[in-house]
Chain A
Amino acid sequence: MIILFLLIFLAVIASPASAAVSPPDFPSCLAPTGSLKVSYTSGTHGIPGDLGTYTGSDSVYQVVGSDRLIQCFCPASGTSGIQTNWWKVGDLSGGEIDDFVKLGWIYVPSGALWGLDDVAYLAKNVSFSCGGGGSIPTPSPATPAPTFSPPGAGGAPVCDSAKPAAPVLLSVTRSGATATLVWSKSENATHYSISYGLKPNEYTYGVANTGNVTSFTVQALDPDQTYYFAVTAVNNCMPSDLSTAPVGGAVLGAFAPTGNLITIFTLLGLGLSFLGLSVLTARRFRRGQ
């Protein structure tokens, strides 16, 4: 018995703090979820833990209801993207932070330099395949960033572009594994992004940048699943609210009702019914007298 307690005691002592606090899950930039905070179609960007600068597109999503963010960088040429997972340190102790740093996380004393809140973050880079050309990226195994260096590369992105109006999703035409979306043009939009998923308002997949178009064909869908779609207009780096009418298959369901024959027949039916009831009630009243 004593030996058992001793073993448990040693296990607790020997285990790193990070084993007690597990790092949270982050969505993949292959299918980003959450709210789009900023999105740059081009420009020079910094990657935490890397003193170099990178040219390409950069989008930041905040995981809904949490302090986690993912930053998805795709280079101007090539498909080797870098996903940075950002995690607010919060109540982590110094020892726990040290343990996470040993596991490859980068300690960022203040997120202000990166356009985030002015609190400490832990960040971790993983690679992903961007796909290119606005198409859905193809999955690739995530690997840690090769080097670690103190933060400071790049500038804090401040988006002062006007917020564009949310587009209206006019139609979604499903055909097997593809869905063609058509949406309304939004003033000031430089490009659009599409979010979609298997449940309304739970978008687990996405196309970060469709270009400045008002239709896009999403591919590689499961033909047996119903998908729900929403489109966001983006003005340089400032995203709009999600488009209205996010439904699956056929957005807005149908063309407008432009006839009134059903109304006419319904009213005539009601009129006859009330007339019949009136006659029946009157007869019963006469019999009762």
Chain B
Amino acid sequence: MASKLSLLFLFFSWLSFTFAGYAVWQRYSPVPLPPPPPATASGLPYRIRLSSVGLDLPVYPADIKNDRFPTTPDGVTFLASSQLPGQPGTAIFYGHNWLRLLRPLHRAQPGQVVTVTFDSGTTRNFIIQNIKVVSPKDISSLSPVSDSVSNLILYTCTGFLDRQRLILTAASV
């Protein structure tokens, strides 16, 4: 009986290490992302690019469900209930701080250009105004500058145990 219990614990241990290994691989693997679904010309953001740090990622629009933010391992999430990039208000993008996703955001500097490409093929440029690290509960950055200014916010996790958020705010050109 004790032998079977020992084997069961060993199995759970193996399972935990396997999942941990997969999570580490997800975080640090530089393997290319899977190709995004074809553009549907719905007028939503399709790609986001920050050339100066080598970042060019597909965008997946999603919305808050049951008071939870969806995230994707395949690109950057665009909060569909936020404002469309270029419209007055704030467009919100976020993603994991994995090597193949938004880890390069840590090298971004104010003045660099963020380009959003829509699935219709049009593009919109934003200049990074400021970069700051805040607590996950400090959401004052989401407040719009004014009703007439078009802003873009791109953020990811940072800090000890990913407990902070690196917030990049860019204004429409």
Q: Which residues on A are within 8 Å of B, measured CB to CB?
A: 167-168, 170-171, 173, 180, 182, 184-185, 213-215, 244-245, 250-265, 267-268, 270-275, 277-279, 281-282, 284-285, 288
Contact = CB atoms under 8 A, between A and B. Distances in A.
Nearest to A180: B143
A252 B139 CA distance: 9
7 closest Cβ pairs, A-B complex: A259-B162, A259-B157, A256-B69, A271-B16, A274-B13, A278-B9, A267-B20
Given A215-B147, A252-B69, A263 B94 contact: no
B164 to A, nearest CB: 9
14 contacts: A170-B142, A171-B139, A215-B89, A215-B143, A254-B136, A257-B157, A258-B157, A258-B165, A259-B162, A261-B161, A267-B19, A275-B9, A278-B6, A281-B2
A182 B90 contact: yes
A168 B156 CA distance: 21
Nearest to A254: B136
Contacts of A263: 23
A209 B162 CA distance: 41
A254 B139 contact: yes
Contacts of A273: 13
A285 B6 contact: yes
Interface of B: 2-3, 5-10, 12-17, 19-20, 23-24, 26-27, 63-64, 67, 69, 71, 77, 81-83, 87, 89-90, 92, 94-98, 102, 136-137, 139-140, 142-144, 147, 155-158, 161-162, 165, 167
A213 B24 CA distance: 44
Nearest to B20: A267
B17 A271 contact: yes
A252 B3 CA distance: 48
Majority secondary structure, A binding face: mixed
B16 to A, nearest CB: 4
Contacts of B94: 255-256, 258
Nearest to B162: A259
B160 to A, nearest CB: 8
A244 B6 CA distance: 48
Contacts of B10: 274-275, 278
B102 A258 contact: yes
Given A260-B162, A262-B162, A288-B2, A255 B139 contact: yes
Contact of A259 (B14, B77, B96, B147): B96
Contacts of B167: 255
Contacts of A279: 6
Residue from the set B15, B81, B147 with the largest chain A CB neighbour count within 10 Å: B81
